Amino acid sequence: MIRPDLADRATVIGTVQDVSGTSVSVTLTSDHFSGLSFVHGQGHKIGQIGSFVKIPIGYVDLYGIVSQVGASAVPEKAALSMPNGLRWMTVQLIGEGYRTGRFQRGISQYPTFEDEVHLVSEADLQAIYGRSDQQNHLVRVGHVAGSESIDALVDVNKLVTRHSAVVGTTGSGKSTTVAGLLNVLSDENRFPSARIVVLDLHGEYGKALGDRANIFKVSPDARNTNEHRLCVPFWALSFDELMRVTFGSLPQDGKARNIILEQILEAKIASLTAQPIAGVDPASITADSPVPFSLNKLWHDLYCREFGTYLSAGGANPSDQATWAYECDLSGAKIVGDAQAAVPPRFRKVKNVASDQEKINWLPDVLNIRGPLEALGARLRVARYDFLLKAGDWHPELDGTTTKTLADLVGQWLGSNKPITILDLSGIPSTVTNDIIGNILRVLYDGLFWARNLSEGGRERPLLVVMEEAHSYLGDNGGSAASIATQRIVKEGRKYGIGAMIVSQRPAEINPTILSQCGTFFAMRLSNATDRSHVTSALSDNLEGLTSMLPVLRTGEAIILGEAVRLPMRTMIQAPPRDRRPDSQDPLICDEAAPDDSMTPGGWNLRTHIAADYRYFVENWLQQNPISSPPKKE
């Protein structure tokens, strides 16, 4: 660490006058009233909010950040007695450096009255921040604002395992920053075994990361070999999750719920008998176990029980299906329905006319779940829920057997030859998005938890989960499936090799427990005071003065704070090339650089109006697949 030469007074800018915890009040010396000091021919502005200072104490330099300057920084008890011309600064202590060049966060001692306060030179900052070519765990994400020669380096170990958050209002460069980070973290030369899963709610990242990612979406483009069909088999959901997305609200007495639970458990045990899984004892299975079973058969059996009638004359036994009163079609065949196609059976109406010997009665012990059964039948028949209820090779036959297993599904997401897996959730119905995200996160967490000692587990090969638009499913009530799963990850995931990156434009809407567990923040422009206060309250350092700069940050600029950086720093994030940026850029309304009489490629100043043809407009809409251009005409 380069220490100031105490004989050289050029770096001294003031003295300590008051110490309160990590907050230090400093008076500037009279020869620095100009606010500018030259050290070795280089100019330094004194008293810039967010700038660094150091306080030498013996063999240790205490480092701090300027958080207040001027009258507001004067201690309350000293405000009346101080001369009007005396200037003050408030400094927040954040770490200490040693003569060996080592720097650590936190402080082991405090400054005292009249200790000198010095400028921090670029040589000091270089020594603190380090160089990525000297330490493998550091990656460059940009440069320190105001010092392009100093790289902004982030510790990958702490970025992933201690969790992080990227927050900023819309248009602040948040998505581009995330894309830049993922480009760096998936560099095959630096991190050939990187493992990253991106929950992409709006389908923005396929364009930016397509060459190094497998993309799973509801309606994949057959022309893109990187795109695959998104399948989230219903049987991988927990029992409660499954109930919410299938049956919905059930009677309050709990009878129907208990019977459905028992039938699902029986179906899973029977399925495991028909298609054994090595090392799994059917006796250990619960209704929450991710074991295949036929939801179609369950629905068909419950439908018959709820809507069924039987010929009751002469003491007939309702359990004998030969007595069931099916309606018949024109050919005389009974309409028994088709469980796999989700076609319901049709039963004759109840008949108890005294003069008519044919008696027809309801099957006994109904559950009063006609509405939920009809709603589930509709979902089984429409394509909108096929990613869940007809999940391709993971869809069970009536006996519960499947072509592919849970191991194949997890292998697709975590074991491919590409470092990034993008789960494009843009085509999922909004009514089930929260439960689907909760299920995906729970599958990832449970798998890495139980496989923590295997080579495929998180300890051997950690996983980073990037949660885009997190405010839309991590609400502050904390009771949703996604929120519960995320809380488990941010509280316990570090031990099992699973880290979270929370990305949001409204941090105030994210559960405070989740935000408080993020060790690193990339705080971009935030204009809303409530959002800023949530970020400030989640930080371990007392840096209100630094976070007060958030409303005036430039696009693409971030204040990086927390465990992954040695010192908080205001950083210009290095954006990826234009062809590797997310599909979230602002549309061009008017090209400011174009002459008035020019022809621009788009926007409102397009001189020649293109003839409208909305066939492909509607085609893309119906297919839910935003193909960039229509097929070429023959």
State the pLDDT at residue 263. Answer: 95
Cα(615)–Cα(107) distance, integer angstroms:
66
More confident residue, 388 or 80: 388
Does the pLDDT of residue 477 top 50, yes or no?
Answer: yes
C-beta of residue 297 within 8 angstroms of C-beta of residue 342: no
Residues contacting residue 227 through CB under 8 Å, at least 6 positions apart? 206, 215, 216, 217, 220, 221
pLDDT category of residue 379 using cuts at 50, 70 and 90: very high
C-beta of residue 271 within 8 angstroms of C-beta of residue 398: no
How far the first Cα of the chain sits from its last, in Å, is 70
C-beta of residue 572 within 8 angstroms of C-beta of residue 143: yes
**Residue tagged 């469980």 (tokens):** 339
Q: Which CATH class is domain 140-233+402-579?
A: alpha beta
Q: Mean pLDDT throughout 332-338?
A: 93
Q: Which of 83-97, 228-242, 278-292 has the lowest mean pLDDT?
A: 83-97
Q: What is the pLDDT of residues 398-436, one digit of tens each?
A: 999 999 999 999 999 998 889 999 999 998 988 899 999
Does the pLDDT of residue 84 top 50, yes or no?
Answer: no
Q: Which two tokens stand for residue 64?
A: 């701090």
Q: What is the pLDDT of residues 269-279, one digit of tens each?
A: 999 988 898 88
Q: Which of 222-236, 256-270, 487-501, 603-617 has the lowest mean pLDDT?
A: 603-617
State the pLDDT at residue 6. Answer: 45
pLDDT category of residue 609 using cuts at 50, 70 and 90: low
Q: How many CB atoms lie within 10 A of CB 143?
A: 18
State the pLDDT at residue 81. Answer: 62
**Domain locations in the chain as residue ranges:** 9-129, 140-233+402-579, 240-381
Predicted TM-score (pTM) of this structure: 0.85
pLDDT category of residue 83 using cuts at 50, 70 and 90: low
Q: What is the pLDDT of residues 161-212, one digit of tens each?
A: 999 999 999 889 899 999 999 999 999 899 999 999 999 999 889 888 888 9
Cα(151)–Cα(44) distance, integer angstroms:
19
Does the pLDDT of residue 618 top 60, yes or no?
Answer: yes
Q: What is the mean pLDDT of the chain?
A: 85
Does the pLDDT of residue 394 top 80, yes or no?
Answer: yes
State the pLDDT at residue 440. Answer: 95
Report CA 524 to chain centroid distance, whole Å: 17
Q: Give whole-number Cα distances, 536 to 167, 172, 542, in Å.
A: 12, 18, 8
In 174-315, which ranges are continuous DSSP H helix? 174-185, 206-209, 239-245, 255-274, 295-307
DSSP 324: B
Does the pLDDT of residue 1 top 60, yes or no?
Answer: no
Cα(88)–Cα(75) distance, integer angstroms:
9
State the DSSP string of 329-384.
-TTS-B---BTTTTBPP-BPPPB--TT-S--EEEPSS--S-HHHHHHHHHHHHSGG
Q: How many CB atoms lie within 10 A of CB 89?
A: 28
- State percent of the chain over pLDDT 70: 85
